[in-house]
């Protein structure tokens, strides 16, 4: 039971912003992506990841796997 004055922590991940850029490079024939994370817990920290794949779905799976890895690493 939760009373009016109790605070329940549902998610303990500090403030996190992820910016994903995705574009197709015709000259390279590749879907390219960058992911920039801003992590704030009293101090701002940034982390960047990037990749490229010829197939869009493979590129999107790489982005999803990277996000999941980053979130798991923060636990």
The alpha carbon dihedral of 4, 7, 8, 13 has a sign of positive
CA distances from 59 to 4, 23, 65, 67 (A): 46, 10, 10, 13
Which uninterrupted H or E stretch holds 68?
helix 56-73
pTM of the model as a whole: 0.71
| CATH numeric code, 15-73 | 3.30.160
pLDDT of residue 13: 54
**pLDDT confidence of residue 65:** 95
- Residue 17 vs residues 3, 37, 68: alpha-carbon distances, Å: 31, 6, 14
Q: Give the per-residue pLDDT at 2.
A: 41
Domain ranges of the chain: 15-73
pLDDT reported for residue 41: 72
User: From the centroid of its chain, how far is CA 37?
Assistant: 6
pLDDT tens for each residue of 5-59: 444 444 555 567 889 999 999 999 999 999 998 877 777 788 899 999 999 999 9
């Amino acid at each position: 039971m939760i009373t009016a004055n109790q605070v329940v922590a549902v998610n303990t991940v500090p403030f996190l912003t992820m910016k994903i850029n995705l574009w197709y490079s015709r000259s390279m024939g590749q879907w390219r992506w960058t992911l920039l994370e801003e992590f704030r817990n009293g101090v701002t920290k940034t982390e960047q990841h990037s990749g490229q794949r010829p197939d869009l779905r493979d590129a999107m799976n790489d982005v999803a796997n990277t996000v999941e890895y980053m979130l798991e690493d923060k636990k």
